[in-house]
Amino acid sequence: MVSVCLLFLVGAAVYVTADDSACTAASGNCQEDSLHCSGSYVSGLCTGHATRRCCIPAGSGSCSNVHIVTRSQWGARPAKTHSTMHVPVNEFFIHHTETPACTDMTACKTRVRSIQNYHMDSNGWSDIGYSFLVGEDGNVYEGRGWSYVGAHTQNYNSIAFAASMIGSYDSHLPNAKALTAVKNLIACGIQLGKIRSTYRLYGHRDAGQTSCPGDRLYAEIQTWPHYSHAHP
Ligand SMILES: [Zn+2]
């Protein structure tokens, strides 16, 4: 009843609670992700239910150069369980999905849904494993997001975020749109206080027996400024 009264009192004004301050600090406002956001929806910055997101308008700086397709927008199944991520983290891992790539949002949404089904139904995980996925359409698809521990890099899930490039990158690179998107996503994580500015970047194979993220992409990320040649 209290919230009804408050909503009535503030009328159509934007209602900002103290706990929405992370969104406000990022120059955004908290709203339902079914509403239109001219910039980017970012999860984990707003109070309330899961579909209440921080809308950071285009041109406001911060993460406005990252277009995040939220879970509800790509049609995610709910996670069976989740545990909260402690931020900021020091490590960021790059993966590839080892699937065909996708170059438009419709195809990427379908691909992300099928990856979630595989992770939940075949691997028996509680949700899609990655923190984020990046398509060759230039969009970032929210996996477990900034708020929850993922299942992507054994021994590092609770201390690192991971983005997976949608495609197979043994012999060629993701396109420029996808490479720009993942770089902007990492910069966004720093601005939101989720990743330390002194973070170390790794490929999945740096932490385990896998060819992930593919030979060509692995060679590429080793040229990026935060790549760490030390074992994670
Ligand atoms: Zn991987």
Same domain membership, residue 131 and residue 41: no
pLDDT for the residue 152: 96
Counted domains in the chain = 2
Residues 6 or more apart whose Cβ sits within 8 Å of residue 28: 39, 42, 45, 54, 55, 56, 57, 60, 62
Same domain membership, residue 140 and residue 190: yes
Same domain membership, residue 189 and residue 101: yes
Same domain membership, residue 146 and residue 53: no
d(CA 203, CA 24) in angstroms, rounded, equals 33
State the distance from the centre of ligand 1 to the C-alpha of 221, rounded, in angstroms.
14
Strand, coil or helix: 217: helix
Residue 216: inside a domain:
yes
Same domain membership, residue 195 and residue 163: yes
Residue 53: inside a domain:
yes
State the distance from the centre of ligand 1 to the C-alpha of 218, rounded, in angstroms.
11
Domain containing 160: what range?
89-221
Average pLDDT of the chain is 89
* pLDDT-derived band at 17, boundaries 50, 70, 90: low
pTM (global) more than 0.75: yes
State the distance from the centre of ligand 1 to the C-alpha of 101, rounded, in angstroms.
15
| Residue pLDDT, tens place only, 126-177 | 999 999 999 999 999 999 999 999 999 999 999 999 999 999 999 999 999 9
| Residue pLDDT, tens place only, 56-87 | 876 655 578 899 999 989 999 999 999 999 99
Residue 226: inside a domain:
no
Q: Where are the beta strands (DSSP E) in 66-155?
A: 68-69, 89-96, 132-134, 140-142
State the distance from the centre of ligand 1 to the C-alpha of 193, rounded, in angstroms.
24
| Residue pLDDT, tens place only, 109-127 | 999 999 999 999 999 999 9
State the distance from the centre of ligand 1 to the C-alpha of 199, rounded, in angstroms.
19
